Amino acid sequence: MSEPEFVYLDGLKRTLEELKVTRETLNNHAGGTIIPFIINEEMRALYERAKDDPDSLSPAEKNRVFGRIPPEDEERLCLERLGYTKDELYEKALTQSESMSMLECDMVIRGCDYDWKNTYNIATDLERLMPLSHEDRLLVLKAREAIKGQAFRQAASKRKQYTSVRADEQRRLQERLRIAKESQRAEWVQDMVDRDLPRWGFVVMRTEYRDPRSDEAWEEFREYYGRIGEQIMKGWSGHPPRAELWKTLETVFVSDPALDGASADALRERFKSMRESLPEGIRRDCFLVKDNLFAETRRLAIRALDPDYDPEAPLGTEEHSYTSNKRSITVQDLEGFCGEVTLPAPKAFDWLHYSLLTNSETWERRYKTTTQKEPRILLPFWLTPEY
């Protein structure tokens, strides 16, 4: 019989069975259910002592007051996630708080097991405290306030800077959207118009040849690819006079039986051999591949490859940005990354092409985006063609 799963909640070690939740739904109030804050006589006495004599609490007791996991587990997680000890993290908060990342701030403020990716729609402590009596609620809040040290306050101050900067960016985005609604066309479409490209598009390679029907299926795909490209760009063309970018869309289709079942490396070599001879405007930093011409999703899925991908190069991870709402990119996010992404064919014409044209995203971010997000249908005035 397997050991019951347990969690540390409100200073108490409880099994998920006791709480009548799964690990995935713990505290999740998306359905309107919030686990009430748990307080018993033992914890009430600990809160009283924290409020009246905070220096008398051990590290383990302080963690219980904050509702965190035990110190030894925090120490292990700190080493795993940051590569240094919890003491070093708190020392950084005291002496170098301006250089702290958002993750470091969150680990000081919320605990070393805090992970924003797993806390969407999770009830806050304040929401969970509300059902308590007024006296118990004040007791918990005062106890926690009393044991907050300077490291906590420094990290919280830095965290507010991140929040403020990102809120300012969001306000600027809303203002740009307001202006865009009144404009002739989306900003990025106007950017492409202003660039006056003689042509734009991709090389598309075929890798299936053995089935006798594959030639016909390839022609069907070519026809579909051109048609969907025109439809996508007409949708973005704006008010009259329309931006007729579909008229300069060109595609270099590559069909060669020597590429039957070709590996990514072989396809890259083939692309590099023809790169210098490509017409101006055809992307030289990316090419597309159509594999299974007979799959049910044959009209949707397509691969985009980085021709210069180096498997020996360090992974392009990113921390939370101080001046941007872009999320971090972790090693875990890039599990399986090998210099390519799979995407719906329509997204090649707006999101993929424009991100390459403006060099606004790395291949690692494209990989995270396409593996963790569903593609969006955006309004014609949207500022950038997001995935």
Per-residue pLDDT reduced to its tens digit, 13-22: 767 677 666 6
Q: Find, among 217, 229, 190, the residue nearest to 358 by Cα.
A: 190
Extract the tokens encoding 235: 């949708």
- Token look-up 């869309």 returns 249
Q: Find, among 59, 12, 3, 9, the residue nearest to 34 by Cα.
A: 9
Of 129-133, 181-185, 230-234, 283-287, which gets the smallest average pLDDT? 181-185
- Phi-psi category of 122—alpha, beta or left, where left has phi over 0 and alpha has psi -120 to 50? beta
pLDDT at 276 over 60: yes
Contact 255, 218 (CB under 8 A): yes
Extract the tokens encoding 184: 């002739």
% of the chain exceeding 90 in pLDDT: 59
Q: Output 301 or 3, whichever has higher pLDDT.
A: 301
Q: Average pLDDT for residues 320-330, to the nearest whole number? A: 66
User: Bridge partners of 302?
Assistant: 343
What is the residue type of 31? G
Q: Average pLDDT for residues 25-48, to the nearest whole number? A: 74
pLDDT of residue 30: 43
pLDDT at 1 over 60: no
- Give per-residue burial for 290-313: e unless 16+ CB within 10 Å, then b: bbebeeeebbbebbbbbbeeeeee
DSSP label at 4? Answer: P
pLDDT at 236 over 50: yes
Span 128-148, pLDDT tens digits: 888 889 999 999 999 999 999
Please list the alpha-helical segments (H only) found in the chain. Answer: 16-19, 41-52, 59-66, 71-82, 86-95, 102-110, 125-129, 134-146, 150-182, 187-195, 214-235, 264-275, 346-347, 353-357, 363-372
Give the HSE-up count for residue 66: Cα atoms under 13 Å, Cβ half-sphere.
27
Give the HSE-up count for residue 58: Cα atoms under 13 Å, Cβ half-sphere.
5
The set of long-range contacts for 130-138, using a CB threshold of 8 Å and a minimum separation of 24, is 131/36, 131/37, 132/36, 132/37, 132/39, 136/39, 136/44
What is the residue type of 54? P
Between CA 359 and CA 182 the distance in angstroms is 27
Q: Average pLDDT for residues 280-292, to the nearest whole number? A: 96
Average per-residue pLDDT in the chain? 86
pLDDT at 246 over 60: yes
Spell out the residues 6+ positions from residue 34 whose beta carbon is closer than 8 angstroms to its own.
Answer: 27, 123, 127, 128
Q: Average pLDDT for residues 372-382, to the nearest whole number? A: 80
